[in-house]
Amino acid sequence: MKYRKLGNTNINVSVICLGTMTFGEQNTQDEGFEQMDYALDRGINFFDTAELYAVMPRKETYGKTEEIIGNWFRERKNRDKIILASKIASKGDPGDIYWIRDGSDKLNFNKKNMNEAIDGSLKRLKTDYIDLYQLHWPERKVPKFGILDFKYDPNDEWVQIEEVLHNLNTLVKAGKVRHVGLSNETPWGVMKYLQISKEKKLPRMVSIQNVYSLVNRVFDVANSEVSIREECGLLAYSPLAGGRLSGKYIGNKKPQNARYTLWPKRFSRHHTKRGEVAIEKYFKLAKELGIAPATFANAFVNDRPFVTSNIIGATTMEQLKENIDSIEVTLSKEILDQIEDIHLSDPNPCV
């Protein structure tokens, strides 16, 4: 395994991070335990979760993923071996999450929500601290989850960034959180958080968790420079475009228990005709190179200069092994040039 610094901290996290959002929905607790055991054996010391999980979000499974991780900590007695990341949900997307605290419209980053959210997560995770606490998505209206254009709403109300940082600072001072990070954030948002934290001596955002894959490289456009120059590295999620880059859906296949088989109308950004064309090209290239398509797609993400860690996810052990195997693959300049040719023929077909 390879390791990189988490932002400007002294924490080394594995370049492969274990994503856990399937635990409690597509994966049972026993399967989750097996994945976590295997990941740890392969040198992964970084796990990512969220209060919202399992996915797809629903009242019956809210917090279930954190509970499974907490049960694993209790049984294995190895909390100290894991750099644990979780997230607090806010209002708006993804849909009406009325079952979290006071409900969607009141679900913001004020002190009340922060305190209730962290205490709930700590209880489910059976720990007294979280290493990286992230804002799952901005409370204000921004382009995210497959939307590119910013649409200004003069009536948009949101807890101001300085107040959010003060609320997070309370959690840090209480010892409940070690470091803080962003997710699904814009370049303006990252820079504003960094500016205010410096001016007011408040907790500094050490990472940003945004979507990144061969078929969605929007992060390259502006956020990548911010990540590198400001030491706020990318925790890349959906590196396989929800599993589509593995090739298992090519030809309109519907594999059992797979995400798009179970929820065909969700994640529409990964269902474009342009996306299917690009995915088939990358699939073909991986096969020509003798690399498993999932391993190939993850290897590309691993070595991007702004990536701190690549958040993989799997529902089977075979998938998990292929994803982690990507750490052993280095793509040559010739291969990267071939990838760039495909990318430039139709940039970002899955957004």
Catalogue the E-assigned strands of the chain: 3-5, 12-14, 16-19, 46-48, 83-88, 130-135, 177-183, 205-209, 233-236, 307-312
Burial class (CB in 10 A: 0-12, 13-18, 19+), 325: middle
Determine the Cα–Cα distance for residues 232 and 227; give it in Å rounded to an integer: 5
Q: Which residues contact residue 317 at a Cβ distance below 8 angstroms, ignoring those fewer than 6 apart?
A: 34, 35, 38
Neighbouring-strand partners of residue 3: 14
Kindly tell me the sign of the dihedral angle through the C-alpha atoms of 194, 200, 204, 209: negative
Phi, psi of 5 (to 5 degrees): -70, 140
Q: Tell me how far apart the alpha carbons of residues 84 and 39 are, in angstroms, rounded to a whole number.
A: 13
Parallel, antiparallel or unpaired: strands 12-14 and 16-19 = unpaired
How far CA 127 is from CA of 37, 119, 130, 176, in Å, comes to 18, 10, 8, 9
- What are the catalytic residues? 53
